Structure formats: structure tokens, C-alpha cells
A and B are shown apart, each in its own frame.
Chain A
Amino acid sequence: MNKPLRRIAIFCGLLVLALMVRTNWLQYVQAEDLNTNSKNKRIQIERYASERGNIIVDGKPITGSVDSNDEYFKYKRTYVNGPMWAPVTGYASQAYDANQIEKIEDGILTGNSDQLFFDRTMAMFTGDKKKGGNVVTTLNGAAQKAAYDGLGNKKGAVAAIDPKTGKILALASTPSYDPATFAGYSGKDEKAWLALERDKDKPKLNRALREVYPPGSTFKVVTAAAALEHGVVDDIDAATDTPEPFLLPTTRVPMVNHANGCKNASLNQALKVSCNSVFANLGDKVTRDKMVETAQKFGFNNPEIDIPVRAAASVYDKAMDRPQNSLSSIGQFNTATTPLQMAMVTAAIANDGKLMKPYMIDQLEAPNLDVIEKTEPQEMSRPLSQKNAQLLQQMMENVVENGTGGNAKIDDVTVGGKTGTAQHGENNSKNPYAWFISYAKAADGSTVAVAVVVEDSEAKRDDISGGGLAAPIAKDVMQAVLDSKK
């Protein structure tokens, strides 16, 4: 009977071997897939298992963690002034995952990042409880408050940048939401989440980064930069060869001006009163490809502007015909931009032509506050020469001093700006967007660039509404930044 016994022994060995192969397959080969499977609750459990690190603004946390006494998720996220900071922090919900900084820096905040390996190992020996690291942002609390309060109950967004470094100082979006209302996983949280999902005003949308708007007249500064860079205009005070009415190239469609005195107006004058005809003409003379080139240097058509939260790509069409290029040169046709992008344009001009890469995470800290990673300012591109940038500054300051941007004036501070009112909807059927982009330079050298867009402008469709609605907000934000640096 021993021969079949030996065979049975082999069979039993094969059974055990099959189990061993399977466990190796599951725990070694597939482990990573299983661990990141969306159905794996451990990801959420781990995220809230220990006290989560905080997102810091001006040295103070704008987030927090409370012990929720729950058998699944021990800690629950809390937010200080949630609606104001939501466009920066994003949310971290036990039921609905996380987004923005809460998601991108999850490793640091939970303390699970490989960068924190040493700290974790140390904590293991000292017996400390595991704790997450902190994310220190570049934001400026006063500027953020000014932006959020300025937008008030209007729909819109504000982005403010430090032109010299690319640090983002304010990032507001209204209407906003309070991430704390759905931080847990109870029925109440579900209700709050569903209400936000169904809200027509899309409060969860981060308008400063993720919404693209037609830029309207604010785009004229890009056209002006292209005209200067490509040698179409040498003297900003020289008359341009622009007839009145100006017909769109190859068509019989006249370009309507809302301003007076645009015939052969100089670039300086045209920007001051916001002449459509002059910029449509200049855009045509620069030609589409060169317009595209300059726009892209400012950051248009780049789908990977990560701050590190990814911003939507702003658009300057690469394949349109001549009249469409003319329209695009005044921010019409399908030109579209995020508020962040317009702030970048302004920042590049204010920084003498050097565009710094925008970022909003200053440094990452270990739980013991050691800095584990610091973001160094980085040059992104040079859309225009120093000389041309200074010419543009001169013109934009003229806009504020004598033109449509008067509402942004600040005493003892050099302010440059440009208003815009973007048509919206078929045949302008919907309310236009009021835009204002500006920068301020204080005597002590501190600078700030701001872009403001207000969606539901009730005012007339002229440039004054950009100046009237958006400019005061921009002014408050700039003032707040300059004051806080004193």
C-alpha cells in the first residue's frame, strides 16, 4: 500500500504548495493593488486612525482633528473658517475621500509618507503616538479674508500671487462650502454632501483654479505684451494704424468699441480706455502663432500648472482663423482663463517680465516641526523682456491713475491694473463676468498681483463694471497684503 501512500503524500504536498503560492500571490504580487483598491476601507481608516497633521496659514492651523470616539474612524477633521479656506485646503471626509491639499499631501498629514520614515521609526522607539506632519502654506490670512469678504455673497473668485516668488497669497472662491459639514460619515454628513452636490451654484467648484472664464478686456495686457515683444509696437505713445470702425480681418464685421477716441489711438491710450478695435488690430498684426507663443509663455494651454493642486488649463486657441484671432486678442472667441492664470500674467508683468512658478505649499513639516521639504521659488518662463514689462507697467499704472481702474488706487502705493467685462452666453444673453487684474508695489519693495472675477455682475456691459465690481476687491486684497508685510 506504500506506493499510493506516497502519491497521496505528494498530493497533500501539492495542496499545501498551492496555498503557499496563493498567499505569495496575494501578499506579495497583488498587495499593492489590494491596498489601493477603492473598496478597501483601510485607506480611510488609516487616514483617520491617528491625529492628522494640520494645514498652516500665518503660523496658525486652519484645520484640526477631534477624537470622534468612533470604532472605524478615530479622528474627525475640523476646519477653522471652513468656507473661506475650502479652496485652499480641500476637504478630508471619512465618507467622501479627500481632495486638494488634504489629498495631495495625505502622506504627510497622516504621517504615512516615506519622507516621515525616520520620524516614525523614532516614535516607535520613544513610544510616542503616531501623529501627522504639517503643511505650511504660503497664504496670507488677511489677504484671504479680504478676498473672501470682498466677494461676499457674489459668485466669483480671487487669486493673489507674490510676483517675486510665485507664492500664492490668496485663493478665494464663492459661493463656498464648509468641509466640516461632511467630514464624518453619518447621515447628517451625507445630507450635507448631497445638498452640495445638487446645489446649482456648485459651491464645491474651486473657481480660482478649476473654472475657466472668458477673460474679456483683461486679456488685452497679453496682446499688448505680444505686440511689444514681437516688435509690432515700439513706442507705446505712437498712434496705431487703427481705423474706426475697424472691420475684423477678411470680414465685414465691425469691431464695436465701448470707448471713445479709439481711432489710431496709441497703445497706452487704448489700454487706458480699453479700445477693442486697437487690440483686435494689434492681435492680427502680431499674427496668431506669435500670439499663441506669448500667451503660452504666460502659461496658457498648459494643462499641468500644479501648485501643487492642479489648475485647469487656460486656453488660447492654436488653430483659429484671422478674424477669430482678432476676437481672441480682446479676450473673446474661445479664449478662456482661470483667475490664477490672469494673476500669473499680472505677476509676470509686475516682476519685470519674469514669471515665477506659482505655489502654495511653503514647506512640509514632520510632526516634530522639522522641515522635511521646502519649496524654493522657481522661474517658470520669461514672457516678456524687462524693458517691455516696464512699459506695460507704465500703461497699467496709467489705467489706474487715469483710466478705468480708478477704484484700485491705494495711497502711497504704485498700482497697475486692467479692467475687463467678459461677454458670456449666446449673443451676450447671460450676465457678463466682471474682471480686474492688478498689482501693487509698495515703497519698501513688496509687491502683490491679484486677479478678481465676479460672475454675476448686474451692471451694464462695459469696462466700468469690472472696475466697479472687481477692482475694490482687488484693492482690499492688495492693501491687506501690503499692510501685513509692514
Chain B
Amino acid sequence: MSVVTNTTTIGAIEAPSRRNTELMLLAFAVAIPVFAYINVGLAMDGELPTGVLGYGLGLGLLAGVAHLVVRKFAKYADPLLLPLATLLNGLGLVLVWRLDQSPRLIARAETLFGAFSPDAPKQLLYSAIGIALFVAVLLILKDHRILQRYTYISMAVALLLLILPMFFPSVNGAKIWISLGPFSIQPGEFAKIIIAVFFSGYLMVKRDALALASRRFMGLYLPRGRDLGPILVVWAISILILVFETDLGTSLLFFGLFVIMLYVATERTSWIVFGLLMSAAGAVGVATFEPHVQSRVNAWLDPFACYSTDTSGACEQISNAIMSFGSGGTLGTGLGQGNSDLIGFAANADFILSTVGEELGLAGMMAFLLIYGLIVERGVRTALAARDPFGKLLAIGLSGAFAIQVFVVAGGVMGLIPLTGMTMPFVAAGGSSVIANWALIGILIRISDTARRPAPAPAPSPDAEMTQVVRP
């Protein structure tokens, strides 16, 4: 009689970790920007750019480190997120470097500020810091559920981050910066992640109360004040602060984030209706008393008509951006051969997508939008796969915020919606954006690792040995 020690025939099926897929994709994500870098050099100076080796090695090294950390500490993570972010970051570096070479922007900086300092080296430094933060997230955050503990601390930190810029001078019409010596930080970018943590933690606890303990009013289910109160207050404060700081893009982002997470948590469509109504009211309200916003709405309505009457430069900027998309055409002028630098101010920040549009054309734009779309898709997939409600909420919050940010910036630059001024994640010059978005990707990777991690093998059943077949 054979003794079967374990009759459980269904073991844990080892899910493929896909780390090698990630490595292969990363190789592409490094090679493509290196080729782009060479392309810019050849187009602008007719020779190989001197920094190509250092640049290629630097980007490769950063990607390699990130990959090794993921391989070791987040073995089952989604294989697409890291390569996509690396590709965007690498291409962003090339675009920033390309705009650094523009004689027009150099001359402009020299007349305005007396000196020109290239942004690409800074951007490379920020990318390194961003990947360091990414690594730190993976090392420190062994399980995303730990974040749940910090629900109310996140709330306090987020509000603090949002309030701080009010005490610093405004830059180009928006008070969204904290300057610390040579560094300036855009706290809104970090606040977006932290507030998503707060919303997730709070909603996870209160979602049943919000969804069920409600009164019916005019066909809609309204939750009780004590459930909705705190979240409404946090949201309102952040929106108000942002309105005072005239950072409309970020307030729109926060609003969208809030509505999405509330909807996912409660599964009540009425939230969408509320959200749309409130955002419409808010938008109209802000637009009526804020001249900064009015000029942008006018520029959006007809970027060519208000050219001569507009003094804020909003019109000229947006019409120049639209024209740069137009002159890119289907295939673009080629890297380094466009005139997107005519936009002048913020050409390498908010408006960097114009350079993509002009120099890489419709083909390049579609590729960029698809890359962003894929990141969002992987984020939503992570949310679907996550096993805990907190992880689900956090993943959808982060990827939803990412999607909204992309839409608001790209839509603004392309004249689809009024320009609100935010940075294109990973691509635009600016430290806060790159660093914060690397942290965002880090958290998503951590959640996806937990989600895809195979269930632990069931403990051996103690009954297995006991059960015996008794023959008569």
C-alpha cells in the first residue's frame, strides 16, 4: 500500500514572472532614445553628438539598475510599465536636449535672463533621482497595503504640500513652486500621489457607508454627511488652494481623481453626475473672475483671432503650438529640423509635445499617445488584478490621475481644451514631474507584483494521511 503524503494534486501554478520580457523591452527602450539622440546630433550639427556614449551608458545604467531591483524585489510585476516609462524618459531627455540646441531659445534666454543654461543635464540628474526614488519605493514598500496605515498622515502631508507654494513668489503667473536655494519643487506633482493614498485608505473603510447608508433625493442616492464630509472637505480645500495658486491643470486633475475613486469605491453612477455638474459649475465660476483663465479660454476658442488683441501671450503660444503640429504633418520634419522653438517660453516644458508633433509628425504623436495609453492600460489592469480593495483603489487612482494629466496637457497643447499648464509626464523638462512619476510607476509596479504573485501553496492537508480506505 502506497502512502500518499500529499493528495493535493492542484499545486500553485507558477505564473510566469516575465522578467526576461521586461529586459528585452528595456533594451528597446534604451536603444530608441540613443538613436534619437544620434539623429538630433546629425540633423543639427552634421556629426555624431559627443555625448552619445555617456548618454547611452547613463540611460542604460539607470534602466539596468531599475530592472535588477524589479527582478529582485518585485518579481511578478507587470513587465511593461518599466520599459514604457524608460522609453518616455529617454525620449524626453532627447527632446529637451534638442531644444537646448535651439539658437532662438538660447538668444531668448540671454536677452531675458542674461544667460542661458541648458536643461538636459538637469533633466538627466532628475531622471537619476527619479529612478532612485523608484528603487527606494520598491525597497521600502514591501507591500502596498502598508500605505493604508498612513491614510490621515497622507491627508495632512498633501494639504501641507499644496499650501506651501502660497508662501513663495509666483512664477509665470502660477504659484505652484517651492524654491529651496537652487532647487525648485512643484509639490502638486507629489501631492497627486499622496492624495490618492488618502482617498484609497479612506474610501476603502467608508465605501459601504457611502454606497449604502444614503438617502434618496431626486432620484439620486446622497450619502450621509459624516461619511462624505472629510473627503469633501479635503477635496474642496485642495481645489480652493489650487485656484488661489491659479494652477488649474492640477485642480482639474484632483477633481477627476476624486470622482473616479469615489465612483469605483461606491459603484454609484450618481457620483459621475455629481462630478460633472460640480466641475461644470467650478469651471464657469473660475472662468468668470480669473483673467488668467479668461485669456486662455479666448486663446482656445480662436487661437488666431485673438493674436493681435491678446497681451498675455496666451494666444500666440497656443497658435504657435497648433501651427507646429500642422507643419509636422504626417511624418514630421525630423528631429532637430522643426521650428517648434518658435513657441518660446515653456517650449521644453508644457509645450514639449509640440516638438514631438512637429519633428516626429502624426506618426510620432500616435506612438507617444499609445505609450501613454499603454501605461494607463497597464495601471487599470493592475487595479483589476489587485486582490485587495485598497490596492484596487490606489492603482486606479494613480493610473486615472496619469490619464487625466496626459489628457489635460496634451489636449491643452493641441487646442482640444483650454490650456491649463501642467507637465507631460516623463517627457517635459522639470524635476518634480519626472521624480514624482517615477514614484508613481514604482507604486504601480509594487501593486502589480502583489496582484500577480501566485497564491502561496496551500498547507498540506492534515486529513491526507488520516483518510484510509477500509476494505471490507
Task: Point out the residue from B107, B326, B370, B400 that lies within 8 Å of A12, measured CB to CB.
Answer: B400
Q: Distance in Å from the Cβ of B305 to the closest Cβ of chain A?
A: 11
Instruction: Map CB proximity to B onto A31-43 as digits: 1 under 8 Å, 0 otherwise.
Output: 1111101011110
How many residues of A are in contact with the other chain, CB < 8 A?
38
In the complex, A6 Cα to B376 Cα: how many Å?
12
Residues on the B chain within 8 Å of A11, using CB: 260
Residues on the A chain within 8 Å of B400, using CB: 8, 12
CB contact under 8 A between A12 and B416, given known A19-B411, A71-B103? no
Residues on the B chain within 8 Å of A35, using CB: 323, 326-327, 329
Whether A37 contacts B380 by the Cβ 8 Å rule is no
Chain B contact patch, size range: 35 or more
Q: Which of A1-42 contact B (CB under 8 A)?
A: 1-9, 11-13, 15-16, 18-20, 22-24, 26-28, 30-35, 37, 39-42
Whether B263 contacts A8 by the Cβ 8 Å rule is yes
In the complex, A16 Cα to B329 Cα: how many Å?
20
| Closest B residue to A46 using CB positions | B339
Task: Point out the residue from A1, A28, A42 that lies within 8 Å of B330, measured CB to CB.
Answer: A28
| Closest A residue to B268 using CB positions | A4
Q: Is A185 an interface residue (CB 8 A)?
A: no
Q: Distance in Å from the Cβ of B347 to the closest Cβ of chain A?
A: 14
Q: Is B265 an interface residue (CB 8 A)?
A: yes
Whether A8 contacts B304 by the Cβ 8 Å rule is no
Q: Is B406 an interface residue (CB 8 A)?
A: yes
Q: Is A72 an interface residue (CB 8 A)?
A: yes
Task: Point out the residue from A8, A23, A42 that lies within 8 Å of B414, measured CB to CB.
Answer: A23
Residues on the B chain within 8 Å of A480, using CB: none
Q: Is A45 an interface residue (CB 8 A)?
A: yes
In the complex, A199 Cα to B330 Cα: how many Å?
46
Whether A28 contacts B416 by the Cβ 8 Å rule is no
In the complex, A20 Cα to B363 Cα: how many Å?
11
Whether A42 contacts B369 by the Cβ 8 Å rule is no
Q: Which of B371-404 contact A (CB under 8 A)?
A: 372-373, 376-377, 380, 383-384, 389, 392-393, 396, 399-400, 403-404
Q: Is B84 an interface residue (CB 8 A)?
A: no
| Closest B residue to A33 using CB positions | B326
Q: Distance in Å from the Cβ of B425 to the closest Cβ of chain A?
A: 13
Q: Distance in Å from the Cβ of B121 to the closest Cβ of chain A?
A: 22
CB contact under 8 A between A18 and B362, given known A1-B389, A30-B326, A33-B326? no
In the complex, A54 Cα to B397 Cα: how many Å?
62
Task: Point out the residue from B263, B265, B325 that lies within 8 Å of A26, measured CB to CB.
Answer: B325
Q: Is B93 an interface residue (CB 8 A)?
A: no
Q: Distance in Å from the Cβ of A405 to the closest Cβ of chain B?
A: 55
Q: Distance in Å from the Cβ of A429 to the closest Cβ of chain B?
A: 42
Task: Point out the residue from B319, B339, B362, B392 that lies within 8 Å of A24, measured CB to CB.
Answer: B362
Task: Point out the residue from B328, B366, B403 that lies within 8 Å of A15, measured CB to CB.
Answer: B403
Query: Nearest 5 A-B pairs (CB), nearest first?
Result: A34-B326, A27-B362, A71-B103, A16-B373, A12-B403
**A-B pairs with beta carbons under 8 Å apart, 22 shown:** A1-B265, A1-B389, A5-B380, A5-B392, A5-B396, A8-B260, A11-B260, A15-B404, A16-B406, A18-B407, A18-B411, A19-B414, A23-B357, A23-B366, A26-B325, A26-B357, A26-B414, A27-B330, A27-B362, A31-B326, A37-B304, A39-B307
